[in-house]
Amino acid sequence: MSPILTARDVTKTFGVQPALRGVDLDLHEGEIVAVRGRSGCGKSTLLHCLSGIIRPDGGQVHFRGERLDDTGEAHRSELRRTRFGVLLQHGHLVAELTAAENVALPLLLGGGSRRAALAAAATWLGRLGVAEAAEQIPGRLSGGQSQRVALARAMVTQPEVLFADEPTGALDSLAGELVMQLLTRVAREQGTAVVVVTHDATIAAYAERELVLRDGAVDPTGLGVAVGTGA
Ligand SMILES: Nc1ncnc2c1ncn2[C@@H]1O[C@H](COP(=O)(O)OP(=O)(O)OP(=O)(O)O)[C@@H](O)[C@H]1O
């Protein structure tokens, strides 16, 4: 089976600082891949290049055979709205909207009716165990509830790929594991492929495969640290 998303020799430099140095990745349908490594090794930059948030300086990114890295921002943002889901560390819910309205938002932006969008939002909030939060504004939710609402919003369009950047980074370990269990369960149920950035090995263990970065390159040892000779 051919991969749905590929990165080939992707490079990105900010100023004089190389953030990515020739990264390759194949993501297959329904596969969950963790991108791990120390702070500053390029994990978020890779996620941004894969999801089309930024364009790499070199190399290529393809989604279902279509080249992403040289297409314009309008098309890339359309892809993110319709075929990708994005989940960030703090969820970034809209403070003035209820949880249900937050989850309905991607469907409303896509031209769906308010009634259908809110019905889908209620279904997703139920699936993620936060039905009771539907009418609350984000300020009234716990960190774990907020991330589950944000996950519902990322999944409501039934994306083909979910990009998650430190989705449990702001949570204590118990709440973080619950979010990760739910994320992997719904992704598998929907057949959604996932790229999850984390520095936490416990969270990475939920993935089927790990890509470890070190100084912007894939670390073939998978350790993410310089291995001395001991000499
Ligand atoms: N917009 C930017 N402008 C300048 N430098 C940047 C920018 N984004 C990232 N960098 C730099 O690129 C390198 C990789 O950053 P990146 O955020 O991808 O690492 P990371 O592994 O996700 O780190 P963390 O785990 O701390 O989030 C770092 O040196 C960072 O300072």
Whether the Cβ atoms of residue 4 and residue 195 lie closer than 8 Å to each other: no
* Residue identifier of the C-alpha nearest atom 11 of ligand 1: 19
| pLDDT value at 212 more than 50 | yes
Binned at pLDDT 50, 70 and 90, residue 222 comes out as: confident
Ligand 1 atom having least distance to the Cα of 41: 21
pLDDT of residue 56: 97
Which residue type is seen at 116? A
Q: Burial letters for 198-223: b for 16+ Cβ neighbours within 10 Å, e otherwise?
A: bbeeebbebbeebbbbbbbbbbeeee
Q: Tell me the pLDDT tens digit for each residue of 141-176.
A: 999 999 999 999 999 999 999 999 999 998 899 999
Specify burial of residue 31 (Cβ count, 10 A radius: 0-12, 13-18, 19+).
Answer: buried
- 62, exposed or middle or buried, with CB in 10 Å at 0-12, 13-18, 19+? middle
Atom number of ligand 1 nearest to Cα 42: 18
In the predicted model, is pLDDT for residue 231 greater than 50? no
Pocket test for ligand 1, best of 38, 41, 90, 225 (most atoms within 8 A of CB): 41
Q: Is the pLDDT of residue 139 over 70?
A: yes
Task: Compute the distance from residue 119 Cα to the ligand 1 centre, in Å.
Answer: 39
What are 48-80's pLDDT values in tens digits? 999 999 999 999 999 999 999 999 999 999 999
